[in-house]
Amino acid sequence: MSEPAETIDLAAAEAAVRHAIRRRNTDALQLLGHGEISLVMAWPSQQPSSALKRVPPFRDEARARQYIDVCEQFFQRLRVADVAVLPTTLHLHVRSDGRAVVYHQQPIADARQLGTNVLRTTSPEEGHPLLLAVADAAARVCAPTVGFDCQMANWLWDGSTATQLDFTSPFVLDESRSELTYDSHAFLQEYPVLTRFYLKRELTSLVLRFTTPEGALGDMLANMLKEGLDDWVDPAIRTINDRLGVQLRRETAQEMLDNDRKLLPMVLKLKKGQRWWLNHTGRSYEQLLPERTTYER
């Protein structure tokens, strides 16, 4: 685990997040984003100098360190593939209850450089260098046991370099391609016990989508549709197909989006049900949930 660029008070950060979880209110946090897996907050809230991404707590320090190792290996894979990586340090906080929370620390990115925002402020163009950079990155990174989430919201574009910024859920599978190489319980604990086997199977199946350039870039197109970037989809398809010699189609991307719109809102409802059950049986829920998923219209 690399040394932090600056010291952060992990206990204070975790206390602030847990307070927000208990109150179901984020007013005391300065949120920069809230995805399907983790939240991103500017820290410290009053005079922020870093972006912190929190991963749900692992059962113990050993499992958290295993996750950190997988993340570090994924960083190295990106670097070997000549994919620019936003400077990221991982920090481990072991709580008094023995659970271990991992925080990703990054510089606060310029939101204008987010891939989705770049496309929103640019006329659709076949062969745009951002599209070419992402297509090339997918071709170099994807492998049978390594998935790559290429959606535009995971990239920064400064006009010449595409920089990857989201690493909280590395899609790294074992040789059987049926298990993640780190303890998935940290993420599955958010759901009712009786649904975890089914969800683990469904989410692992979803990860397989990202292990080929076609699947990863098809998911990117589906997210472009979700983000209202419809006018960019056809130029992106032609760019990717010409660059990689694949046969992506708008219909495939739309089908991916339709499936995600069925699955992910249901997943959030399950999380909210688990939160209700734990809170009403004297236990604590461990994640700050959004009111709705980004897949709900």
| Amino acid code (one letter) for 12 | A
Output phi, psi for 136, to 5 deg.
Answer: -65, -40
Higher per-residue confidence, 67 vs 36: 67
Is residue 99 within 8 A of residue 57, CB to CB? The reply is yes
Q: Kindly list the structural domains of the chain, giving each domain's residue range(s) and its CATH number in brackets, ordered by start.
A: 10-273 (1.10.510)
The Cα 117–Cα 241 span in angstroms is 23
Question: Which tens digit of pLDDT belongs to each residue from 173-192?
Answer: 999 999 999 999 988 999 99
**Which pLDDT score is estimated for 4?**
40
Closest by CA to 150, choosing from 77, 68, 209, 75, is 209
- Those residues whose C-beta lies under 8 Å from the C-beta of residue 262, and which sit 6 or more positions away, are none
State the pLDDT confidence band at 36, using cuts at 50, 70 and 90: low
Q: Whole-model pTM?
A: 0.91
3 state DSSP class of 144: coil
**Amino acid sitting at position 1:** M
Find the Cα–Cα–Cα–Cα dihedral 39, 155, 228, 247, rounded to 10°: -130
pLDDT tens-digit map of 136-187 = 999 999 999 999 999 999 999 999 999 999 999 999 999 999 999 999 998 8
Q: Among 59-63, 111-115, 283-287, where is mean pLDDT lowest?
A: 283-287
Nearest Cα to Cα of residue 168 among 179, 178, 182: 182
Q: Are 275 and 196 in contact (CB under 8 A)?
A: no
Q: What local confidence, expressed as pLDDT, does residue 264 receive?
A: 86
Q: What is the mean pLDDT of the chain?
A: 92
